Structure 1
Amino acid sequence: MIAEPADSLPSETLTIPSRVADPALGRPLTIKATYYPPRGSHPAPLVVFNHGSTGQGAERGRIPREAVLRYENQARYFHARGFAFLAPMRRGRGESEGTYLESYAWNALKLAEGLQHALDDVGAVVDGMRNRPEIDSRRILVAGHSRGGLLSVAYAGQHPPGVVGSINFAGGWIAEQGMMDDFNRDVFVRAGSGADAPSLWLYAENDRHHSKAMIRRWHDAYTGVGGSAELYLFGPVEDDEGHQLLERPGLWQSAMDAFLHQLGFFW
């Protein structure tokens, strides 16, 4: 059902099969996603916007099951430019089925396992959207915030068909702390090796999780192995310590417009 509150974009909730079968249910676990359909009747490009950790660590019980991140402010930007916009909740978050398996442990193996679970969910969502008649399956962008930013770059690095670029808002899988920062860097290196889709990286200097030095280190590592990434490191963002840069479109809109034009999107 499409909900159209006076001050909201038209949206609906989609149910998309994951890649993980549940023997007890006799079917795959499902992923719920908020979908903002494009304007008009022609096939439109799609943005899949990936959420972060949701900020509550391993204590899933502290987040109501129905808590859903809809990213309507970001959807408005893309919708005005002719895009469809999808905001999925990965398994074990929001109303999606399954268990949240994206570990917060300071252990590289556990972190890698969690990242793979997340990559599987993004792949399932993109695959589930390809055949919709209103979607241009040759023009898909993956974007996200925090964990979702790194996840989007990593997914695009797998060369999925039709994915033409990635957008990274304050991306990192785990907060900078000693040797665990190498995990973030290694993910970016793997993603950049042979990457054929350009990416846009948007960070603020006062990001509470990632220092300026580390952000530049990740970018250098990604581009050093062949990845194409335009980095914007904005000055300090007041009040929110920089990590919520995505809520300040006045800062990043010009950079985003330029990136979309680079990819051939015009409006």
Structure 2
Amino acid sequence: MNRAIHVLLSISFVFGLCTVSQANSAIEIEHTQLEVRISGRAYSLDALIARPSKLEAGERLPVALISHGAAGRELPGSLTLALLSGWVRSFGARGYLAVAIMRRGYGESDGPAIRGKDTCEHPEPEAYLQKQADDIAAALDAIGRRGDADSDKVLLVGHSAGGAAMLALAAREDVPVSAVLNISGGTFRYRPGEPLLPDVFEGCELYSQAMDTTFVRLAQTNHVPTLWLYAVNDPYFPPRLARRWMNLWLKSGGQGQLQILDAYQSNGHRMFIHREGQEVLWPKIDRFLKTQKFPTWNDAKFDELRRALGPRQRQKLNKFLASGTAMKAFAVPIDGKTKSYWFTDAFSLQGARAEAYEFCRQDSGQDCIVVVENFEPTGMIPGRLNRKSKSSGDE
């Protein structure tokens, strides 16, 4: 697809999301601008916010703050909130105040994008990451002023340069952070006009050494739990590099778990921005969230439903839940214990519900019910409904 067309579609998708606010949806989504101050100057940062639609009076939600990687050889404005919308919806469906931001110069955010001015001979990756962290810190401060934000429970989620920037932010003593998800995190020096080498640090060894030093320094003041996820076929930060950085991190006082994931398509660095890649990442993330006492979906809620389903339906339900992404629905025939149907990654929960129901009805030839929406059972139990309808007919 032509890149200009792709950018236009991405922008249209984000603006479409900001109109989603349906009474029976599980989450509300808002496209907004965060008014912030960075180094004494005022900026507007492009943001997408999702949260459960129903809150108790005065209820505050844990914050999941999400940010992107660097543009590399692309124009920073070509990266949009569409890249992060799946993450926002999925965290919102788990009970978070989920906020995705575009840093300065990216998407529709004000200001020039922060580009590294250093060279292979004079590398300054830590300074670059700290400038990125300034934007994220300013966004976190703006979010903390909301009445629905629990600033004592903050999860940072970042990809590539955004992942490393989240680690830099968590190392600041004056910033309230509870945990960090670093997905394919790191940075390296781009060489304009030159093709990428299989080893992006080849011929730039001083930069590689500076990255080592950066992780050592950040770990010394970063004492929150962190999860690092990298694909085995990441062309920029391969397993040997991720393992080296994690070893330095742990030896320098940081807390962290590193997981090297199976190869993802042709480029494992991109799994963060693809829905299929997110489905690979979510099971690992959910386990980490449970360990750290952060909200995630509760498997025990589905015990009653599982008892009413057939073996094949239970297997499909487990796969549906483990995929992790939101805006989805799971339907089964009222009478029958073999078939099941689901629709995921819909524009809205209402759309997912309608698609799953219609798919089930047309394929099975029976009346159907939606038994799960996102990560919540609807309370509809197929066998129980069938028995009730028969009893009513006999009376």
The normalised TM-score by structure 1 is: 0.86
Larger radius of gyration: 2
Partner-residue secondary structure (3-state), 1:124? helix
> C-alpha separation between the residues in 1 aligned to 2:127 and 2:178?
26
Aligned residue among 54, 57, 72 for 2:85: 72
> C-alpha separation between the residues in 2 aligned to 1:136 and 1:174?
34
Deviation larger for 214-223 or 30-39? 30-39
Structure 1: runs of 5 or more not aligned: 23-27
Query: For residue 20 of structure 1, what is the aligned residue in structure 2?
Result: 39
Query: For residue 211 of structure 1, what is the aligned residue in structure 2?
Result: 238
Query: For residue 11 of structure 2, what is the aligned residue in structure 1?
Result: none
Equivalent runs, 1:114-263 vs 2, <5 Å: 114-174=128-188, 176-177=200-201, 178-179=204-205, 180-239=207-266, 241-246=267-272, 247=274, 248-263=277-292
The 1:196/1:105 distance shift into structure 2, 3 A limit, reads closer
Structure of greater relative contact order (alpha carbons < 8 Å, 6+ residues apart):
1
Partner amino acid for 2:170?
A: A
Question: Is the contact between residue 21 and residue 28 of structure 2 (CA under 8 Å) also seen in structure 1?
Answer: yes
Question: Is the contact between residue 141 and residue 163 of structure 1 (CA under 8 Å) also seen in structure 2?
Answer: yes
Quote the RMSD (CA, aligned, Å). Answer: 2.5
Query: For residue 63 of structure 2, what is the aligned residue in structure 1?
Result: 46
The 1:167/1:204 distance shift into structure 2, 3 A limit, reads same
Cα deviation for residue 38 of structure 1 reads 3.6
Partner amino acid for 1:211?
A: P
Question: Is the contact between residue 14 and residue 33 of structure 1 (CA under 8 Å) also seen in structure 2?
Answer: yes
Identity over aligned pairs, percent? 26
Structure 2: runs of 5 or more not aligned: 1-14, 190-199, 298-395
Cα deviation for residue 73 of structure 1 reads 1.4
Deviation larger for 243-252 or 197-206? 243-252
The normalised TM-score by structure 2 is: 0.60
Q: How many residues of Structure 1 are paired with residues of Structure 2 in the alignment?
A: 257
